[in-house]
Structure 1
Amino acid sequence: MNTYQNNTKQADNALKKAEAKMNKRYRLGYHITAPANWINDPNGLIQYKGEYHAFYQHHPYDENWGPMHWGHVKSKDLVHWEHCPIALAPGDACDLDGCFSGSAVDNNGELTLIYTGHHYIDEPNNIFFQNQNVAVSTDGIHFTKIEQNPVIAEPPADSSQHFRDPKVWKHEDTWYMILGNSTKEEQPRVILYTSPDLRKWTYHGVLLQGDKDMGFMWECPDFFELDGKHVFMFSPQGIDAEGDKYNNLFQTGYYVGEYDYDTNEYKHGEFIELDNGHDFYAVQTFLDDQGRRIAIGWMDMWESEMPTKADGWCGALTIPRVLTLGENNKVLMNPVDEMKLLRQSEHVVLQDQVISVSSLTEVEADLLEVKVVFDLTKTSADLVGLKLRGTDHEETVITYSIPDQKLMLDCSKSGKKTDGVRRTALSAEGQLTLHVYVDRSSIELFANEGQATMTSRIYPSEKLLGIELVTEGGEAKVNGLTYWNLKDIWQAE
């Protein structure tokens, strides 16, 4: 077997060389990224010995997807992150061609990673097999793959080759694992295993199966209790667009329902898309010591334009978000309170004012938090919103159509010329709050306390000129417009 030291040190050395050559024009200031080269799915989110850990799918040798490693960052406060050595590297018999996504759990003080080993049979034709493996650590930094790997060698007999992304949790005295899987007829499903010790696993059948309308494979499954309900969160591949819904190549969404551990029966409502922007996938969650269910997603999308590849890096994770359950079993996402620690200066621009024409506030910054509140009971306009204006012609536009009750994010003039618009329904009765986080190449929008979220990468070539409030078809009452300059957490590196 290859050793941890050989595999990961070689990868870490390659990263240092790549980082030295990297162009930082779009480099994010307060998001999780690798030091250089490619990242995608978050894995193994956990709070361990007082620190938050986030792992991620990573190719340290190239800015394109390749043999997956596990990159690693940690933080004491969810916002100030530091890079750690690469946690997992492929090449052993159990994971010859990749260490794919998985989970992290605290097993009596031992940080345990459960992940998918990827093995090509015929790489040009994408024929492969997958198994499940375990690696352990006592310091949270250095990991050893156990000798018993693979702990699950093969999928059930009626499966396709897709068998990955274990999500593991403990209920009472038993460990539970769900896996993304599909039948030989390409019907998507999630299957269930249990274990007393994370080593020996017993198959218990199908937790949930979808029809062809729900795609052909459910990636990155997550299953957890939230406000008394059981939420199944996943990323289905192969759902067709339906009006304003499902407009990305792949989706991320959830069911809410009731689960019976004794019968393995899950009764749930309709599928709901979690984020309606361009770049949100493979979300994972964890429970912290404050009892918060926190989510982090991949802030990119398969087969989309990724201009940062030309700069020697690609991919990022979203800011951490707290999940709560709202009315009608809707999952709400909002930034963790710790994001306020990044605020460097506050600028209160408008308070209790009526505007009848667009109003521009000049801003010289590229890391921003913006919050605007419209009083719709005292607004006669048909459309309100804001623009993040460039110095010449570029702009990122957020608008809300009051008659249509539609929220729109338009990135077509900020690096997404093709298919740069996303819309979603939002019932804003009386008040519209737009809470926006802007980084050098991303925007994250939270409307009305998480009733709608939209996440997208943007690639402006111009410097930011300012924030412009928009009103069309009448006057708009603005309760407040405030923005904050935010800290660059990576600047010292």
Structure 2
Amino acid sequence: MSHQGDKERNKVHEEQVVLANTALEQDSAATAVAEDNFRLYYHLMPPAGWMNDPNGLIYFNDEYHMFYQHYPYEPKWGPMHWGHAKSKDLVNWEHLPVALAPSENYDMGETGGYGCWSGSAVDDNGVLTLIYTGHVDGRTPTEVQCIATSTDGVTFNKAANNPVIACAPEEGGFGFRDPKVWQHAGVWYMVIGYGKDGLGKALLYKSSDLRDWSYIGVAAESDGTMGDMWECPDLFPLGNGNDHVLVISPMNMGTTKTMYLIGKLSYESGVFDYRYAERLDYGFDFYAPQTFVDGQGRRILIGWMNIWGAQMPEQEHGWMGAFTLPRELTLSEDGTLRIEPVEELKAMRGTHHRVSNLSISADTEVPLPEIHGDALELIAVFYTNQSAGDAEFGLLLRCSEDGSEYTELSYSAADCKLKVDRSHSGAGEAGVSEVQLTPLEDGRIKLQIFIDRSSVEIFANNGLKTVTNRIYPKPDSLGIKLFARNGEVSLESLDAWKLITEG
């Protein structure tokens, strides 16, 4: 393509970006004026419009960049753009102009089923490079892989030779999207989500220059129980050994929406031989997570804190969608994944209150009037070795004064189950999330809880299990209570902080 052709093509993209940003500014102003009890204090959300999958998470030029699937015109899914925000501390975020907008025949169609779908970002010798799926319903092929580059980290130009991967390796597949790219030994690798014959798969490619890609093969696939298409695959090394982790969002797998697999990746054969598989998060509202490595060498994960098909009360206020807190990934002593909130979140801690050595009688609730709010961090440590065999205990979060509204976080000593019950949480979806949780070696259960207006994130036993849910209580449902049922329980400690940010 000629240089003049490049200029004309990128002018079309620039015009689409300007239109999107103009609409976003207008919608953001309307959203700011509207009374909205669901907007989060310390999680990343769109200023207005729709948000889903995190894209292109990267630490670039000493700043954290988050891109995301975005429709700036309405608070519902539409032709996908890439929203963009950056941060210096993973807590306070600055919204930047829309990075990508549909503009070419490979990412723009005549109906609503098109756009710049999910992907990733890399630093190519100082050039911030986005790799994404161009999707157009009715076109053959429907999905192709494309790149766009930026020298200033804000304005992006689509490559003249797009698509860089023009089709799936074979016909008859289910999906061909969400490229995640990384570099190993000077070579670029890409894993792409795919499905065929009822089996989710992760396809592996390699390149020397991000433009010319060669297909290696199927890195990993379902054993028949893990969905029929693997969205948003992310394959990366973790720990000091040779272990790799594959994170996937399997389609059509019931209540399991995300998984991680641990094993060995052979770059020679292109095969990821996994030995362990488990659900990644046990809440309802967690999907399409992506990881990146920051300047400290930490592997950080962020997910979409919503789920397809759920009620989304925030749409009434002109926006939809949020991201989880940033979470650091490490391998635990038994070789499974440990997921903990990043250290930077402690900077939000404000007023502190502590309760120690409290005995909670069977079938009682203990109000904690000193602890209340809609932006809190709680760390509760319970003893289990003194509990009666049938004891169930925990906390009631975001309680109304009349007791009609609350979110119940409970642990059952009899069957070692941690549960989050949203039956009385307010608007939005109900339902009970649950996960098996073995007490720590000393018999304790440790629950770290982040509450933020319309979300609850739980990190249990130092991140061995996580549960992420959206809740939509009334603004004056601010109370916190302890409770026990069917037996007495001992609370070793409860630390609570009100959380504050610069915003």
- Is residue 2:250 matched to residue 1:236? yes
- Is residue 2:381 matched to residue 1:369? no
Q: Secondary structure at the match of 1:278?
A: coil
Q: Secondary structure at the match of 2:311?
A: coil
| Inter-partner Cα distance in structure 1 for 2:266 and 2:427 | 45
Which residue of structure 2 aligns with residue 244 of structure 1?
A: none
C-alpha displacement at 1:16, in angstroms?
1.4
The CA deviation string for residues 41-94 of structure 1, in whole angstroms up to 9 with x for no partner, is 001111001000111000001111010000011000111111111111112223
| Inter-partner Cα distance in structure 2 for 1:417 and 1:136 | 39
CA contact (8 A) 1:387 1:396 kept: yes
Q: 1:250-329 maps to which residues of 2 (within 5 A)?
A: 251-329=257-335
| Inter-partner Cα distance in structure 2 for 1:57 and 1:83 | 14
Of residues 464, 473, 482, the one that matches 1:469 is: 482
- 403-412 vs 355-364, which deviates more? 355-364
Which residue of structure 1 aligns with residue 3 of structure 2?
A: none
Q: Secondary structure at the match of 1:19?
A: helix
C-alpha displacement at 1:475, in angstroms?
2.4
Q: Secondary structure at the match of 2:175?
A: strand
- Is residue 2:400 matched to residue 1:390? yes
CA contact (8 A) 1:30 1:489 kept: no
Of residues 20, 28, 36, the one that matches 1:19 is: 28
> Runs of 4 or more off by more than 6 Å in structure 1?
none
- Is residue 2:211 matched to residue 1:199? yes
CA contact (8 A) 1:443 1:455 kept: yes
Which residue of structure 2 aligns with residue 173 of structure 1?
A: 186
| Inter-partner Cα distance in structure 2 for 1:456 and 1:467 | 17
| Inter-partner Cα distance in structure 2 for 1:303 and 1:222 | 24
Of residues 352, 365, 387, the one that matches 1:358 is: 365
Which residue of structure 1 aligns with residue 410 of structure 2?
A: 399
CA contact (8 A) 1:411 1:417 kept: no
CA contact (8 A) 2:372 2:480 kept: no
Aligned letter for 2:56?
Answer: G
CA contact (8 A) 1:134 1:145 kept: yes
Q: TM-score, normalised by structure 1?
A: 0.93
- Is residue 2:437 matched to residue 1:420? no
| Inter-partner Cα distance in structure 2 for 1:299 and 1:473 | 34
| Inter-partner Cα distance in structure 2 for 1:417 and 1:15 | 25
C-alpha displacement at 1:419, in angstroms?
4.5
C-alpha displacement at 1:289, in angstroms?
1.6
- Is residue 2:135 matched to residue 1:135? no
Q: 1:9-88 maps to which residues of 2 (within 5 A)?
A: 9-22=18-31, 23=34, 24-88=36-100
Q: 1:204-243 maps to which residues of 2 (within 5 A)?
A: 204-227=216-239, 228=241, 229-240=243-254
Which residue of structure 2 aligns with residue 437 of structure 1?
A: 450
| Inter-partner Cα distance in structure 1 for 2:410 and 2:358 | 19
C-alpha displacement at 1:211, in angstroms?
4.5
Q: Secondary structure at the match of 1:7?
A: helix
Q: 1:364 to 1:213 in 2, by over 3 A?
A: closer
Q: Secondary structure at the match of 2:462?
A: coil
The CA deviation string for residues 179-200 of structure 1, in whole angstroms up to 9 with x for no partner, is 00122x3432111111001011
Aligned letter for 2:467?
Answer: M
Of residues 349, 355, 368, the one that matches 1:343 is: 349
Identity percentage of aligned residues: 45
The CA deviation string for residues 77-113 of structure 1, in whole angstroms up to 9 with x for no partner, is 1111111111111122232120011010011111110
CA contact (8 A) 1:367 1:488 kept: no
CA contact (8 A) 1:130 1:161 kept: no
CA contact (8 A) 1:26 1:459 kept: yes
Q: Secondary structure at the match of 1:87?
A: strand
CA contact (8 A) 2:263 2:276 kept: no
Aligned letter for 2:121?
Answer: A
- Is residue 2:161 matched to residue 1:148? yes
| Inter-partner Cα distance in structure 1 for 2:154 and 2:81 | 14
- 333-342 vs 355-364, which deviates more? 355-364
- Is residue 2:116 matched to residue 1:99? yes
C-alpha displacement at 1:377, in angstroms?
3.0
Q: Secondary structure at the match of 2:14?
A: helix
CA contact (8 A) 1:41 1:282 kept: yes
| Inter-partner Cα distance in structure 2 for 1:151 and 1:418 | 41
CA contact (8 A) 1:391 1:462 kept: no
| Inter-partner Cα distance in structure 2 for 1:391 and 1:420 | 22
CA contact (8 A) 1:52 1:76 kept: yes
RMSD over aligned Cα atoms:
1.7
C-alpha displacement at 1:270, in angstroms?
3.7
CA contact (8 A) 1:233 1:252 kept: yes
Aligned letter for 2:415?
Answer: D
C-alpha displacement at 1:4, in angstroms?
3.7
Aligned letter for 1:26?
Answer: F
- 97-106 vs 458-467, which deviates more? 458-467
CA contact (8 A) 1:370 1:483 kept: yes
| Inter-partner Cα distance in structure 1 for 2:227 and 2:333 | 27
CA contact (8 A) 2:391 2:489 kept: no
CA contact (8 A) 1:255 1:271 kept: yes
The CA deviation string for residues 376-402 of structure 1, in whole angstroms up to 9 with x for no partner, is 234447112000112231001100001
C-alpha displacement at 1:161, in angstroms?
5.3
| Inter-partner Cα distance in structure 2 for 1:205 and 1:34 | 37
Aligned residues: 476
Q: Secondary structure at the match of 2:99?
A: coil
